[in-house]
Amino acid sequence: MVRSLALISTVTLSLSFSSAFGSDIYMAHKVSTDSYKKDKKDGETEVRTSMQWFAGDKLRSNDGNESVIMRLDKDSIYTLDHKKQTYYAFQASTLGVPANAQADGEQVPAMVSSMMGNMFKMEVTIEPTSETKKIGQWNCTKYNQTVKMMGMTTTTELWATEDVTIDKKLLDKFFATQFMTKPGMQDFAGKMQKEAEKIKGCVVYSKSVTSMGNKRTETIDEVTEIKELTAPQDTWVVPAKYKMKKIE
């Protein structure tokens, strides 16, 4: 759950530079996570890398065993689990609604949805500040984000720049995909997307702190590389052997 909140806080680092560069763009991130117990470091620093590809109205994000494929040209979003070889499918134009819901004639009862929402009681806010500084080659402005869920609070400082052209429609939808597969959180996905609209430009650095009781997790996500590079041929498709799952 802690890592999920960290992903929520750092997903804004996935940007669309396609219109700025005019071709496929590859971007890499370095993500460093430290855990603390009673203010003492608990274990070694966990360092991982994630990557994104951008091509017009298409986006793909790879992070460990999970990937997100966004095809706005096909009004589709796919979230993949490579370990289980499964995926979920969604309509991009109807945030949080499974692509197979209408075809199957299935809907989550309003009472169940309300109960799940009350149980999670998730809140999110993003507030702009007047603080500015240069990070790498970019002139950045600071934003403060707060996410509260089930006794955990994640506070994140986001540094965004308007020096880079960004496809906001693509970014804002990607920002909310972390909630689409979680029961009772589809409504929250919409709230997260709305808050993300407050950010001007794109985020190139973030630092988040997740607290629960006497435990704390700190995560830093920074862009390490951006370059023009043609995406592999299979970047924008779900592997044929993967099985589609339904939201439970």
pLDDT in tens, 57-69: 888 999 999 999 9
Residue 65, token pair as written in the block: 């065993």
Residue 213 vs residues 37, 156, 210, 216: alpha-carbon distances, Å? 9, 18, 10, 8
Residue in 189, 49, 200 with CA at minimum distance from that of residue 120: 189
Q: Is 158 within 8 Å of 204 (Cβ atoms)? A: no
Give the rounded distance of the alpha carbon of 241 from its chain centre: 25
Looking at residue 162, its pLDDT comes to 87
Within 13 A of 89's CA, how many CA atoms are on the CB side? Answer: 15
Q: Which bin fits 117, alpha (ψ -120 to 50), beta or left (φ > 0)?
A: alpha
Helix (H) or strand (E) holding 81: strand 76-81
Q: Which residues of the chain fall short of a pLDDT of 50?
A: 1-21, 96, 98-99, 101-113, 115-117
Looking at residue 248, its pLDDT comes to 63
Looking at residue 176, its pLDDT comes to 58
Q: Which bin fits 159, alpha (ψ -120 to 50), beta or left (φ > 0)?
A: beta
